[in-house]
Structure formats: C-alpha cells, structure tokens
Structure 1
Amino acid sequence: MKENLINRKQYKAVKKMDRQEMEVFLADIYKTGFEDGVDAGNKADFKIQLVEVLNNTKGIGPKLFDRILETAKEMGI
C-alpha cells in the first residue's frame, strides 16, 4: 500500500463533500480497487497457466524452469 494515498488538497475537498458527493467519490474508489483486483487475478491465472505449460513441456528441467520464472518475475509477470 502506498504511504501517501491522499494529499492535503484532496483531504480538504473530502471534508467539504456532502453525502451525494461522498457516495460518488467512494463509488469511484471502489470501482478502481475492483478493477485492480481483477487485473491482479488475471496475472495470477496467467502465472498458474505458465507453470502448467512449462511443467508439461518436454526438455524443460528444473534449472531452465527456475530461470524462466525468474525472468518472468523481472518482467513483472
């Protein structure tokens, strides 16, 4: 989690919001978090599929398997 999620200007704007503005603001935050969660889930599914494909590929031993996964981690996969 980021250290500074909100700056002073945003904090003051939130303090001045009425109920309806706050609902819209929170719905937007929820939507953003939900989309981030979906993206994270898709990446996890891809990692599982990658591991299964590598395990079922002839000629890929433990050393090559580890090197491939390390390269994938460096790429952010």
Structure 2
Amino acid sequence: MNGLPTPPLLALLACPRRRERTRLALEFGTASRIIGPVAFADSWDTLGGLAAQHPGSPALVDTFHDNGSPDAPGPRAA
C-alpha cells in the first residue's frame, strides 16, 4: 500500500436495494483497496457538493431513476 487515503465512491442511487448492494460490494470486495467508502447523495445538487469536496473521486449514478433534479440526464416523464 502507498499510505495515501482512498477516495470515496460518490453515488446517486434512488433505489435502496442498489445502495445496499453497492455498499456491500465495496465493503467485502477487493475494490476497497483503491476506493474508499461510499458517500451517497440524495440529489444532483448534493452530488455536486460531494464532488467539490472530493475532486477526482469516482461517481456512480443511476440515470434511469428520477434523482430529484429537472436537469438530470436520462428519460423524463412528459
């Protein structure tokens, strides 16, 4: 190990099941060697704030769910 802190995985996931599966995958998988704990966001605005706090961190976004922003990418209801 290089002793540097691992960056958190920033995640915008509306589905509680996907949140839990993501958290468990990082907790028990080998990815935890290069990625820190998950920092969950409840909206695009929150995700933007987390990205500003942790520049360069990887992000996981479920674009098929409404994540609370009219500017969110993905399909929108008419």
TM-score by length of 1: 0.29
Higher relative contact order (Cα pairs below 8 Å, separated by 6+ residues): 2
- Greater strand percent: which structure? 2
| Structure number with larger C-alpha Rg | 1
Greater percentage in helix: 1
TM-score by length of 2: 0.29
